[in-house]
A = this chain, B = another copy of it.
Amino acid sequence: MSFRDTHAGELGSADAGRTVQLAGWADRIRDQGGVIFIDLRDASGVIQVVIDPAEHPAAVDLRREFCLSAIGTVTIRPAGSENLDLKTGSVEVAISDLTVLSTAKALPFQLDERTDVDELVRLKYRYLDMRRPRVAANIRARSVGVAAMRSTLSDAGFLEIETPTLIRSTPEGARDVLVPSRLQQGDFYALPQSPQLFKQLLMIGGIERYYQIARCYRDEDFRSDRQLEFTQLDIEGSFWGREEVLATLESVMVEVVRAVRGVELSTPFPRIPFQEAIDRYGRDKPDTRFAMTIEDFTDLFASAGFKAFAGVLEAGGVIRGLNAGPLGLSRSALDGLVDDAKEAGASGLVWLVVEEDGAIRSPVAKFLSDEEMAGMVSTLSASSGDHILVVADRARVASEVLGRFRVRFGTPEHHDELEFVWVIDFPVFEETDSGDLVASHHPFTAPADVEDMAANPRTAVAQAYDLVLNGLELGSGSVRIHDPDTQQKIFEILGIGADEAEERFGWFVEALRYGTPPHAGFAVGIARLMSILQDEPNIREVIPFPKTQTGIDPLTGSPSAVDDDQLVELGIDLRPEVRAERMAREAESAAPEVG
């Protein structure tokens, strides 16, 4: 039995007179008494079919989203009744044979784009949500984008290799997702945060060019753009340095953007050193779609009469400013910015507005010299109406706080433009609040200079780089350490003792001792990339079956309770307080309602 021989979206005037069999869903139904018009939708598009209820009495019972198969004749629509909104709008199909393949209950929400539906409801009925054009387009675009990644890398000689997902737990930054072992009771596997060590093993194994679209797992308290499981494009190459990685990633991005957006990117992408990104954009993921850079006024105010500035400079701080543009803010709104700056960690904020006549309006105007004000206006190319924001503070604080205002006032609402940029020369380590050093990327990242790193770990530069698109981090990579002594030096600086290093990474350091080639690689978060290319506000929109921010799937009701005998087999049990809490909850929901 065949259900169709023609896709709805492919029909046009050239098909007039053809008898076709279609299958799909009743998208819209207009019953005009003597004739019923149905927009029949399948994955390829929509076609209007025309049914005579006198011949097909069952047709009057059709409802939206019934699944239908229908045979009919393609006819040119009468002049004036064409539907220009529809690709197939010049024709319709007069139905001679109609089969209801399955019926549909009343829908929990309308499937057209105009209906704003609560996300929890959308996720509970994700299978209906993905019949909506936007979600369907996202799923299709993701498939197209990933296919472009694969073909680019395959053509360049990369092998696609699967690394294991039940691995040894080696807590890095984020929390591992743990999996109890049944055959080795009391032991646990971890789901991988990334294939990092396995792809390095592949390089040691002589593979030379590896890629994988890899499922990864991170048990963090979810931020809006994170999921418990996520997917990354993971690549690694032997006898590689930074240039090979960057060129490969650029070629992948060119193909993906061409395939998904039909846009030609120009390469190479600009490169911004980490320190410059922090100084001029206030963050390590600069959005370069708009200028509005942070400028340094430290020299301008070297002999400042304004005590607040002079004091900061004496203490080794800086004075930096930003032209936030013609915001048209009221006095109280401007004072609100001062509060925001303080909340963000700055000791204060100075605002200045350029008046129509070129004069400067500011609470601190009287403390500033004409030269100082003119210098700021000139450096920031400020003109009538522009709002200038200035922070005097430690360098990092000044730039970070101004960086927040930059993003707040400058960021375009949509991703019409695509600005890729590399941020390079990341530090090897960063300091925690307690002053300890942690790996800026991960502990397998090669320093630019091993001896310098040993001598000056707090300022040492790594061979590490991020790819940033429209101010969002797409991914990061590095040249890896291929020398076991350097690897152990890093563990030392990180305060990982010899015993702990042996216990956690001994098997890996051992592997480095067998002729490890120099190697480097990168990983790109696929949902992040696709959400930007599809101009979606969050990654859940490009994930077929996402979870909520608390890790719940409202569709299947996962996670869920399991039988005790399953836990016994695994050698584990719920903690007494968790079990008690569960039982109390169950008793409550089972209790008859009172009243």
Contacts and interface: CB of A to CB of B under 8 A. Distances in A.
A207 interface: yes
A159 to B, nearest CB: 4
A529 interface: no
A572 interface: yes
A102 interface: yes
A572 B571 contact: no
A279 interface: no
A547 interface: yes
Interface in A404-441: none
Interface residues of A, number: 126
Contacts of A552: 184
A326 interface: no
A188 B517 contact: no
A25 B181 CA distance: 38
Interface in A1-57: 1-4, 23, 25-26, 41-43
Contact of A162 (B168, B215, B579): B215
A555 B126 CA distance: 41
Contacts of A592: none
Interface string A538-553: 0000011101001111
Contact of A146 (B160, B513, B569, B573): B160
Given A159-B140, A181-B559, A555-B507, A3 B130 contact: no
Contact of A178 (B139, B191, B562): B562
Interface stretch (A103-111, A306-314, A378-386): A103-111
Contacts of A107: 514
A136 interface: yes
A299 to B, nearest CB: 38
A443 interface: no
A102 B4 contact: no
Given A159-B139, A545-B164, A553-B164, A561 B65 contact: no
Interface of A: 1-4, 23, 25-26, 41-43, 65-67, 69, 101-105, 107, 125-131, 136, 139-140, 142-143, 146-147, 150, 154, 159-169, 175-191, 197-198, 201-202, 204-209, 215, 217, 219, 221, 228-229, 231, 238-241, 482-483, 507-508, 511-518, 543-545, 547, 550-553, 555-562, 566, 568-575, 578-579, 581-582
28 contacts: A23-B239, A41-B206, A43-B238, A67-B517, A103-B515, A104-B514, A127-B201, A128-B514, A129-B205, A130-B206, A136-B207, A150-B150, A162-B543, A163-B545, A164-B545, A164-B553, A166-B551, A167-B553, A167-B558, A175-B566, A175-B569, A178-B180, A178-B562, A178-B570, A186-B581, A187-B559, A189-B558, A572-B578
